[in-house]
Chain A
Amino acid sequence: MTLKTSTILLIIFLAILCAIFSTLSPYFLNVANLLNILVATVTIGILAIGASFVIGSAGLDLSVGSIMALSATTAMAIATSMNAPWFMIIVVCLATGLLVGAINGGLIGFRHIPAFIVTLAMLSIARGLALLISNGRPTYGLPENIIFIGQGSIFGVPVPVLIFLIVCLFAYFLLSHTRFGWHTLAIGDNEEASKNAGIKVNWHKVKLYAFSGFLAALAGLIFMGRVNASDPTAGTMYELTAITAAIIGGTSLFGGKASVVGAVLGALIMGVLQNGLNLMSVPAYYQQLAVGGVLILAVSFNSFDFKTWWHKS
């Protein structure tokens, strides 16, 4: 893995952020707190990886937060009504996300409706279904195995973090070492040219959005395990945080450029910021300001042309 300048700049930015918070709060560098940050970053991190693929193809998926909630509530409804075993909950949860994502992709790829509109509609539909299925209330009482996914740890490392790590490695490999990854970026770069080059663009979009939906469902599964309940309001507004993280990470809004490492760093920056502000008990309204400010700072820092500046001064 070669480190790009933008990645190095992101790491520096993250380090500065950490340095500031560690001088402001004695609790920040606690091992327990660092683990807190990692665990709290997992859901957004997984969604951000999905977002970097989709945005890298010059698309957009606004429905991931709702898919999170829908997959979890569907799985929970089946588990409680049919008394299904724990692995069925996982299968149903992930399959729901995959299916809803594929529907998104089908409408975008074959019906040629803009991704923004399709996924905006799905944001509303999936949320509505989740509320319908669950009667608008969280259902609690999951099997221990599911709770383990959200709350357990192996050799002191929380299970959500392990899952996240696997997803990161898999996504990194997928983006930079497989045909799937290359095609994604090629379509983002120039859809017409990709079509002429023989890429089945419509099918690729189905696969792409299904992948995004699958990741959202995985995030939903971890969320469900963490709070020991399927919550129909889970993940509200998460899509925007995920897109923010992907953009901070250097994924181009115009497509053709994406970075898994960047998305993970972006999610970490958001996680560290949230954690630090909470540690200092900054009221929620100021936190909103800070998150927006850091987005602008991080992107301007990230896109900064270091070489030109160096030669000029």
Chain B
Amino acid sequence: MMKITIFLFFLFSSSFLQGCSEKKSNNIAVLINDVSNPYWQTFYEGVKETAGEINQDIDIYTLRHAMDAEAQLNQCEIALLKKPKALIFAAVNGVNLRPCLRKANQQGVLLVDADGNISQALAKELGVSVAFSVASNNYDLGTYAAQYLEGRSGKVLVLEGLSGSQPNILRVKGFKENLSDSMKIIASQPADWDRLKASNITNAILSAHPDLLAIFAANDMMALGAVETLRAVERKDIIVIGIDGVADAVQSIERDDLTASIAQLPYLMGREAVLKTDKYLSGEEIYDFNQYVPIITLDKEVLQSRDNQLLKHLR
């Protein structure tokens, strides 16, 4: 038994040896959230493939469980030990990495936010200096949705996300401020990013306003919830617009259920984060804190024509 145990042990350890002996210097460390989430999986691919392209040594840390704030803090501390030149972080929440980011500042490590969990204001509040942030512009996501309705007139229902959430506030603001005057918002209610809640609200509003023209939801989940209701009451004429461009939403558009989704491009986000950090490290200046990643309006036409360059980043 002992001999077998020893044998197993070395078998076990040698498999690690092989995987890890290639890496030498680690210029950039990247902290990513839970990769069982497709959004982060796509981001991960963007980071990894781009790093290979530009021949940059990158250490990628991923989480085993979603939202494991403490594990990410531990990973951040470990990443710093290797004295990277830059640290790209997609924080689990706005605050969990604070002690580590402060330490990074002291060591002179370049800090780059990915996905916009730490805004310029929050960074200041936390006493952390972040060079720039690579993320989608949430205000623009709302604006694009409003623009999609341009030239139409009628009633629109707004399904908001969890109140207090920063992306939600900006998305809804972008939508409301850019909506053409011919459109009238008859209700704007929080459905907390939740499919079922969105479905229920849609049902209630629809009975009061059968002449509803469009529904804007601050994420795809809620849009898909609205779609469920519309299918049940056979009102497929109503326009439904979501945000994020998740796989379910794309499929729903292809089935003619969902009208459009304003898509974020996590692959491109990972790619841009690495490219911009690499440029910054080689001396190029980046002036704006907010480095926005392009977004794209997806509807049946766009998906079928396939001539939009950005579509190749959609996974």
Contact = CB atoms under 8 A, between A and B. Distances in A.
Looking at B1, B60, B70, B93, which has the most chain A CB atoms within 10 Å of its CB? B70
B2 interface: yes
Given A137-B164, A279-B81, A226 B73 contact: yes
A223 B72 CA distance: 12
Contacts of A309: 1-2
Contact of B64 (A20, A30, A228, A284): A284
Contact of B96 (A231, A275, A293): A231
B287 interface: no
B2 A304 contact: yes
Interface in B162-177: 162, 164-165
A52 interface: no
A227 B82 contact: no
A252 to B, nearest CB: 20
A33 B98 contact: no
B67 interface: yes
A33 B82 CA distance: 10
A237 B34 CA distance: 14
A227 B75 contact: no
Interface string A225-252: 0111101011011000000000000000
Contacts of B165: 137
A284 B62 contact: yes
Contacts of B12: 293, 297
A178 interface: no
Contacts of A27: 78, 81-82
A287 B75 CA distance: 13
A288 interface: yes
Interface range for A: 35 or more
Given A236-B68, A284-B63, A138 B2 contact: no
A38 to B, nearest CB: 11
Looking at B35, B78, B81, B96, which has the most chain A CB atoms within 10 Å of its CB? B78
A281 B95 contact: no
A66 interface: no
20 contacts: A24-B17, A33-B81, A36-B74, A135-B162, A137-B93, A138-B93, A138-B95, A227-B69, A227-B73, A227-B96, A227-B98, A229-B69, A229-B93, A231-B93, A234-B70, A274-B71, A278-B75, A281-B20, A281-B61, A284-B62
Given A228-B96, A229-B96, A281-B59, 15 more contacts: A27-B81, A43-B70, A137-B93, A138-B93, A227-B70, A227-B96, A229-B95, A236-B65, A237-B65, A275-B78, A279-B78, A282-B16, A300-B1, A300-B5, A304-B1
